[in-house]
Amino acid sequence: MTVSPDMDRMDFKRLVAAIRQAHEDLAAQASRAVNVRLTLRNWLIGCYIAEYELNGADRAAYGEKVLSELAAQLSDISNCNRRQLYDYLRFYRTYPQIVGTLSAQLRPLLPQSLASTEKVPTPSAQSGIPPENLVSRISYSMFKLLVELDDETKRTFYQAECIRGNWSVRELKRQIASLYYERSGLSHDKQKLAELANQDAEANRPKLVIRDPYVFEFLGLKSREVMSESHLEDQLIDKLEAFLLELGHGFCFEARQKRILIGDDHFFIDLVFYHRILKCHVLVELKLEHFTHENIGQLNTYVSWYRQHMMSEGDNPHIGILLCTDKNHALVEYALAGMDSHLFVSKYQLELPEKAEMERFIEQQMQRIDHE
């Protein structure tokens, strides 16, 4: 609980602390409010679909095509494609007790058949965790991961750990992938294991909540507004974009913070160009860190995705440029996924900027930024 500042004993240091505390508290409240509204929106969409499938007057006319037809009609609304509508339906069926969290203002949105919460069953494995705690402490992206767990006991375990450890979405995904539930079941010291699991866990912070793709699309934000990892990266990407365009050599700017969907995960490519001479896309990724194999693997994944989904007739294999940097050094690596044409590789070496030229430019810009 936040204690109100004592103005009679206020000095400059306490003034700074009071303003910072007010900012952090209200930002956290705003993030939770956005999260709750998004979760309830998606739950209500699932509720409507479930009720239509049971009682819709013309449901027989659409049959199994209802989600496809619905997605086509809702194409102007964010996150309402066929797969996402199915996810909302599954979310509603897994968490029907969320109906109890709807405020008086939102209750009129419920179908008449659910006007009484007594008609809504509550799964046995959810007991002990009030619905309002679930909705206020767990984001929709977390619910999406939890719904994929078919075992109710396992789902309840991760729910409780999310709330207890204030996990981020990435942390929940990491813990599920590390088989934390299974390891806990086998452990002779579950408390010690829980302490170790949360020791380096990424906590959920207001900025992380707003960066959630579902949230910023729900708010009508653009990916560039929320996805930059830092002010330094934003400045560098601004200058890098201009630099590549100034080089000529056929670069045509296409997108910044290009969002792609691989499986159920969203990724963002820093810069996307189309090279009119090489006739291929050039994907540029900037990492404010030393080079790692994970970085080049990620870029190769993007290049491979573009080859599969964005390649048009007459296009050559796409190219990735990875820029890894710390404060005093820049490293450039090119991803040539799927390139088996020696002629094309030779041409690419002539048309793209040399690695040394890219490194000099990045280092110069970083020095300028540091002195601004």
Three-state SS string across 284-305, please?
A: EEEECCCCCHHHHHHHHHHHHH
Query: In this structure, are 207 and 305 located in the same domain?
Result: no
Query: In this structure, are 196 and 243 located in the same domain?
Result: no
Query: In this structure, are 365 and 304 located in the same domain?
Result: yes
CB 315 within 8 A of CB 280: yes
Query: In this structure, are 184 and 242 located in the same domain?
Result: no
pLDDT at 124 over 50: no
Query: In this structure, are 260 and 306 located in the same domain?
Result: yes
Two structure tokens written together for 124: 């046995």
Q: Evaluate whether residue 141 is within a structural domain.
A: yes
Give the integer Cα–Cα distance in Å for 112 and 138.
Answer: 27
Query: In this structure, are 182 and 281 located in the same domain?
Result: no
Q: Evaluate whether residue 28 is within a structural domain.
A: yes
Domain end, chosen from 189, 215, 241, is at 215
Query: In this structure, are 207 and 241 located in the same domain?
Result: no
Residue-wise pLDDT for 219-269, tens only, equals 776 666 666 656 667 777 888 888 887 776 788 888 888 888 888 778 889
> Who's near 211: CB < 8 A, 6+ residues apart?
226, 227
Q: Evaluate whether residue 366 is within a structural domain.
A: yes
Give the integer Cα–Cα distance in Å for 209 and 141.
Answer: 10
Q: Evaluate whether residue 282 is within a structural domain.
A: yes
Q: Evaluate whether residue 198 is within a structural domain.
A: yes
Two structure tokens written together for 197: 């699991």
Query: In this structure, are 209 and 352 located in the same domain?
Result: no
Give the integer Cα–Cα distance in Å for 55 and 59.
Answer: 8
For 317-331, what is the mean pLDDT?
82
For 41-60, what is the mean pLDDT?
91
Number of domains in the chain: 2
Give the integer Cα–Cα distance in Å for 193 and 187.
Answer: 7
For residue 228, the domain's CATH number is 3.40.1350.10
Q: What is the DSSP string of 121-154?
A: ---GGGTTS-HHHHHHHS-HHHHHHHHT---HHH
Query: In this structure, are 158 and 53 located in the same domain?
Result: yes
Neighbours of 56 (CB within 10 A): 14
pLDDT at 146 over 60: yes
pLDDT at 206 over 80: no
Query: In this structure, are 277 and 169 located in the same domain?
Result: no
Give the integer Cα–Cα distance in Å for 95 and 93.
Answer: 6
Give the integer Cα–Cα distance in Å for 273 and 231.
Answer: 23
Domain end, chosen from 215, 247, 265, is at 215
Looking at the chain, the number of H-run helices and the number of E-run strands are 17, 5
Q: Looking at the chain, how many residues does it have?
A: 372
Q: Is 149 left (phi over 0), alpha (psi -120 to 50) or beta?
A: beta
Domain end, chosen from 215, 233, 250, is at 215
Q: What pLDDT is stored for residue 226 in this prediction?
A: 62
Sign of CA dihedral 270, 303, 245, 342: positive
Closest of 331, 324, 319 to residue 359, by C-alpha = 331
Query: In this structure, are 136 and 11 located in the same domain?
Result: yes
Q: Evaluate whether residue 341 is within a structural domain.
A: yes
- pLDDT higher for 293 or 207? 293
Closest of 77, 69, 357 to residue 240, by C-alpha = 357
pLDDT at 127 over 50: no
Two structure tokens written together for 255: 């997108």
The rounded radius of gyration (Å) of the Cα atoms in the chain is: 25
Q: Evaluate whether residue 261 is within a structural domain.
A: yes
Two structure tokens written together for 45: 């969409």
Sheet containing 251-262: which strands, arranged edge to edge?
Answer: 251-262, 265-275, 280-287, 319-326, 329-335
Mean pLDDT of the chain: 81
Q: Evaluate whether residue 343 is within a structural domain.
A: yes
Enclosing domain of residue 128:
7-215
Q: In the structure, what pLDDT confidence band is assigned to residue 211 with cuts at 50, 70 and 90?
A: low
Range among 96-110, 218-232, 323-337 rated most confident: 96-110
Q: What pLDDT is stored for residue 227 in this prediction?
A: 61
Query: In this structure, are 228 and 176 located in the same domain?
Result: no
CB 305 within 8 A of CB 262: yes
Closest of 114, 119, 104, 125 to residue 43, by C-alpha = 114
